[in-house]
Structure 1
Amino acid sequence: MSVVKKKKHVSKKNKKAWRKYCDITDVEEFLEDQRLEERLGKFETKPDSELFVVDTQGDVKNLEEDVKPTFVSAKQRKRLQLAATPKCYEILLPSSKVEDPNKKRNHVNPVGFKPTALSKISEKRRFAKGIYEKKLQEVKKNRKMELQKKKKMKKARETFKLNLWGGDVPEIKGIPETLCDEFISSEAQLHNVLPVQRIRPKPPPPKTVTRAAVETPHPGISYNPSYKEHQELLQEVVNHEQKLMKREAHLLRVTNKMFRKVTATEKENQWHEEMSEGLPQPHNPADNPTQSDADTDDEYKAVNPPVQNKKKDHKARRKQREQIEEREKLKRQKIEKKKITDLYRLRKLQSSILKTEERQKEECTKRSSKRTAAAATALPALNAHKINKKEPDFIDPEQLTGDLMHINSKTNLLRERYESLQRRGALAGAKLMMKKKRKVKSYFKPGHKVTDQEIERYITRSAGKKVSLNLSFIKVAKL
């Protein structure tokens, strides 16, 4: 038997309680069906042709086996899709079958549908001016230009005489002819090119580095060299050392030796002189014993004695005026003479200027050629560290043995090969980094269970090392 549940009596005083405890699913389903019928139409009103389909093909599987599918090209598929409405406009189509409640609605034409009186007058003026004709001509001109561009593109594709590596000319990159000038930089030229036509500059081809061969050592380094070769090597070493000494002396001269050394007493005397400048000096009779006693009297003497105002007579003034005029005359004569000499010197100055210009040009060409030669033979800079040049090796005549049994090798072969690879640009230049060794102190950890044997063993093990022991603890342990 089906158990009938007892209905719960719940208060429905508020709207919230009505929503919570009332079951309205049947009402919602009815309303949904009604809306669907309004959109698609009622089944009673629809004809049978819309509701039912007459099967005239039979089983699809048997037909597929007999009839082969016809191939439809992409062009035909696109043409068939032209008749159908695009998916982007399907939302705008009316999906509802609900009739318009206001059947007598007035149709309002959009703005610009019907020409106004003002628009008619403006159009007449345009026709009179020939604006529409100009637009037509521009459109025709643009079409012709597009056609010509397309033809050129087709011709360029058909012709196979195009130089792929001849793109360095500015006109090819799309730069206007007005900007193709030597005074305008390449950056400014490329800046004015359209973004579509702008081409990135081609990277330079990889540089083929011709490395020098392994340096052969000087024959004077041999364990049994000839006297001449040994002397040549000695001369090279002497020249190298002289250069280093000269450089060191120059640095010393421009740094330390620029300032003279002063002793402590001289410094103190200088300080006293500077501080006592302008102060009255104390009189010391021992400094000037020949001075008479009359001078030492406390008599007032003026620093600037009075001067008599002697007036010049007419003769003295005339002579003074004549001297000034003579001086001015000589000055003017010198200026005129200098002008004449400068005119004669013009040719000499011009020739000297031409010579200096020629010399400067020659020096500039020499420097540029030297720079280009150095750049061509320069090794690639693998890092920021500079590689030092190899210093000449030398063996003292006293250490020359003459046989391989008693020879002493000063250089390390592995280090020498490593440095030669750095100098030839095969390896990056390294910087020698010396790490400081930390001084580690060892301590003996005291404890109540430490025996004398352990202490003795520790002392013997740490013999020859700097060890700090707690002697007070050892005494206690021995006790």
Structure 2
Amino acid sequence: MAVKPTTKAMHNSPSNKGKKAASSIGAPAQHNQSSRKGKKAWRKNVDIGDVEVGMEELREEERVTGSILQKKTNEELFQVDVKGDEHVRRTQPKFSKALLTSTKILAQRSAVPAVITRTTANPLKRKNLTYEEKGRLLRMGKRPRKGPFNAVIDHTEMGAGSAMLEVSEAAKNSGTHDVWGDSSVQGTKVKHPKTPNPRSLIALPAVPTPHEGTSYNPLVTSHLELLRTAHEIEERRLKETEKLAEMKRKIDAARTAAVLEDAEGVARGMTVQLIDDADAELEADDGKELPPVKKMPERKTKQERRKASRLRAEKRALAERAARKRMLASVDSAKALRKAFGRNLAARERLRVQKQEKMQEKLRQGLAGQRLGKHKVPEGEVDVQLGEELTESLRALKPEGNLFRDRFLSMQHRALIEPRVPVLPRRRKMKIKEYEKHSYKRFDRDQ
């Protein structure tokens, strides 16, 4: 028997204070209504959210502990520990996955046993049939089979009949081959190049010791020696510059001459001299003989051809006889030739070893002045002061050279970086062509 609430309770009911959210546990509810004059309306819209929350808490306790906590005794819920465990620290491991929060959450299972379901009566599921055998039985029974996207497969198409198609070897062995395994990978070993790396032979220090003549107060002999070295380097550079300028001048002169000599209808390299008719008559009157005209060779007779062939045969026989004599003479002197060949081979090997040692000795001093790739390794500048520029004191000393340039050249000399040339930015050759749209042409007119 339901008890009808009083008017005060109805006014204090939460349903009159505004619409509440739906229950978070069960189905959505309607707790408020504009009028509550009848029993049906009140019973339908009564708020039982608190009761549902309490019932859900009881169910949660039953799932965790196996029964409701209110029905358990104090001995089952509480335990008085009068003496602590002294071996807890020893028995507990330093690290255990059971102490992780994720493991505790996964370990929370219901104490209520699960509902046992009965087995199905499908014979295809009871037997251990493969997917291919099951499909074959369905094809034999003319039963519709569904493929991807629940589409019914046509049994008349290729491979959809009752016959069992053989699976390829690749499909059978799929998943058994380990591509990244060491045992299955049989790659060819990379051969080490026989050409030695020049970096391994270079014994040049990273920061070379400067010459004695570069000191602010050097010895006279050291200073003169450094000046002589700088003079030789500059003189050699000027000679190379003059040689290149001379070669360029010759190339320009040859190109100019070729352009002047290039006339229409005349081969390159030939000059044409025009002679007037009057000059030709004067030359003829002088009595000078014209060069004879070369006649075309006449056709040889049979006798002349036989004579020429006989002469060629005689020359060929004489050449073969001379070659046979040389061969017989070389057979007699085979031992002497073998000894001479051995001496020449030993001399060439000795020269090769000397050349290789010389190159290695040159490499120990760095790659300065040698061509490596497309460019030549620069030798570097010699920083030297003249006699009147020497300060003879550290207080008036002026810095010379560039540390960045020295380090860069040192890395090139030790084959750490390749030689390069400075790449300067180029100006844009193509001019930007501007176009004016048709709408902007009539901008003022539209205004």
TM range (shorter): 0.3 to 0.5
TM-score, structure 2 as length reference: 0.41
